[in-house]
Amino acid sequence: STVSEGTFQRPPVFPHIAAAQRAGEISADHVQAIVKVLDRIPASVEPKLKELAEKTLTDFACVGDPKGVTQAGIRVLAYADPDGVLTADKDRQRMRGICIGRQRADGMFPISGLLTPELGAVFLPMFAKFARPGMCNPDDPESPHTTAQLGIDTETETDDSDADAATVAARNVLRAAAKRDHRSEAQRNHDALLRFLHPDMGPTKLGYHRGLPVSTVVTMRLTDLEQRTGLATTNTGGTLSITEAIKLAARSTPYLVIVDANGRPLHLSRGQRLASVEQRLALTAVERGCTRPGCDAPATRSAVHHIKEWADGGETDIENLTFACDACHAQVNTGPNGWKTIVMPEDSEHPGKTGWISPPHIDPARRPRVNFSHHPRVPSPSGVPGIPARRLC
């Protein structure tokens, strides 16, 4: 500390955070989210890496929301601890458990616990479908909950003109049920789990959700696979260590997605308006979720969007497809307040990525922006002794 005019002035504990907050670029919620991540970095980590993590998260917070900072922090922690020293697979297995307490006087059972990344990766795709508003509502006798009804594809934003009469009728039932559904997310999760465990259900009868079978899709980088370090991502926005991902994949039917040096899927075309299963899998692996800047909706909550609209001659080719969640998808239109999507040009900083152009009242210059919520940018720590260069996205 220093002495100035009889008062003590101490330098800020987190200088990058302090500077950004003074400039009005981040909020108190951003600060809280960043500090929570930084507090999880062990004291033994190189100080220069801690400072790099602080700067990286602060820069991300300037263009993202606090929830996105938390997601970016997961990858920053993996960067700081690529070999799993902070929390190894053995530690996770030791901490795993589900505790069901003694039944209360009102008949309810308290529950608490921790799920391993593997169990979370298996459960969350099921919740994405069965915990959707309108599904499995015990208070609504017309809510879809039978095996036949649950077999429909719940991608209700798909144009009904491309579906058969039975599917259209089932979707209309779900839409009507969703309007009557006033349950909380926790209540929907409870009811979905109860339905999943019903004798006439199970993993083989989960049907489809947004064009894909209800299942776990795991994406990993070849370099991480070879080195057995880093993180793999799931279609629900979660993460697994590479070791856990390999174990999960060993008991599954694998899909292989080939991408170029810029992380773009190679050409995959289709002569119809709706994207194929293979195209959705490719987008799941590469984009991981909604591509609108600042949105962190995972692939299981995203629809396939034509960057150049099908009605305007846009082809159903992988180069012209992207992910957009239901809320963001609805904002893409040609009106004065509508958003527009483009493919970023080859001479841009992010060639081939989806650029979103906001309405004039948000950005008068209408500069295309790219979403990094699913791919936090972590700069290479060149010049930091003993720290290997590493990419997380």
Chain-wide mean pLDDT for the chain?
A: 75
Residue reference for tokens 């001659």 = 313
Q: What is the pLDDT of residues 25-48, one digit of tens each?
A: 889 999 998 998 888 776 667 788
Q: How far from the centroid of its chain's Cα atoms is residue 130's Cα?
A: 18
C-alpha span between 73 and 82 (Å, rounded): 14
**Half-sphere exposure for 329 (CA within 13 Å, toward CB):** 19
Strand positions, DSSP E, the chain: 2-4, 7-9, 97-100, 111-114, 208-209, 212-213, 218-219, 231-234, 239-241, 269-270, 302-306, 316-317, 321-325, 340-343, 354-357
Choose the weakest-confidence range: 5-9, 122-126, 143-147: 5-9
- As a whole number, mean pLDDT of residues 63-68 equals 79
Calculate the dihedral angle through the C-alpha atoms of 29, 322, 301, 178, rounding to the nearest 10 degrees.
Answer: 120
Contacts of 258 (CB under 8 A, 6+ apart): 265, 266
- CA 248/CA 311 separation, integer angstroms: 41
The more confident residue out of 332 and 374 is 332
Tokens describing residue 189? 């999760």
| DSSP string for residues in 203-243 | GGG--EETTEES---EE--HHHHHHT-SEEEETTS-EEEHH
Share of the chain above pLDDT 90, in %: 8
pLDDT of residue 157: 47
Provide, rounded to the nearest whole percent, the portion of the chain with pLDDT above 70.
66
136 or 7, which is more confident: 136
Q: What's the pLDDT score for residue 52?
A: 86
- Render pLDDT for 295-304 as a digit per residue (tens, 0 to 9): 888 888 888 8
Helix axes 47-61, 15-22, angle to 10 degrees: 20
Name the residue with higher pLDDT: 264 or 69.
69
Other beta carbons within 10 angstroms of residue 134's beta carbon come to: 22
Tell me what pLDDT residue 339 has.
92
Dihedral of CA atoms 303, 304, 308, 313 in degrees, nearest 10, equals -120
Q: How far apart are CA 171 and CA 256, in angstroms?
A: 32
Chain position carrying tokens 């779900």: 174
Instruction: Give me the half-sphere count of Cα atoms (radius 13 Å) on the Cβ side of residue 14.
Output: 21
Q: Which residues of 278-296 are buried (b: 16+ CB within 10 A; e: fewer)?
A: ebbbbbbbbbbbbbbbbbb
**Which of the pair, 116 or 387, is modelled with greater confidence?**
116
Confidence of residue 381 (pLDDT cuts 50, 70, 90): very low
CB of 114 closer than 8 Å to CB of 95: yes
Is pLDDT at 370 greater than 80 in this prediction? Answer: yes
DSSP symbol at 4: E
Nearest to 201 by CA among 139, 111, 129: 129
Mean pLDDT of 270-278: 62
Write out the H or E segment, with its range, that includes residue 80.
helix 66-80
| Closest alpha carbon to 292 in 360, 367, 357 | 357
Q: Is the predicted pLDDT of residue 184 greater than 90, yes or no? A: yes
DSSP of 328-343 = HHTTBSSSTT-BEEEE
pLDDT band at 84 (very low <50, low <70, confident <90, very high): low
Whether pLDDT at 187 is above 90: yes
pLDDT for 313-364, tens place per residue?
Answer: 777 777 888 889 888 988 888 888 889 999 888 888 888 889 999 998 888 8
Burial class (CB in 10 A: 0-12, 13-18, 19+), 54: buried
DSSP string for 93-125: HHH-EEEE-PPPTTS---EEEE--HHHHHHHHH
* Tokens, residue 211: 């064009």
Q: For position 205, what pLDDT does the model report?
A: 56
Q: Is residue 255 predicted with pLDDT exceeding 90?
A: no
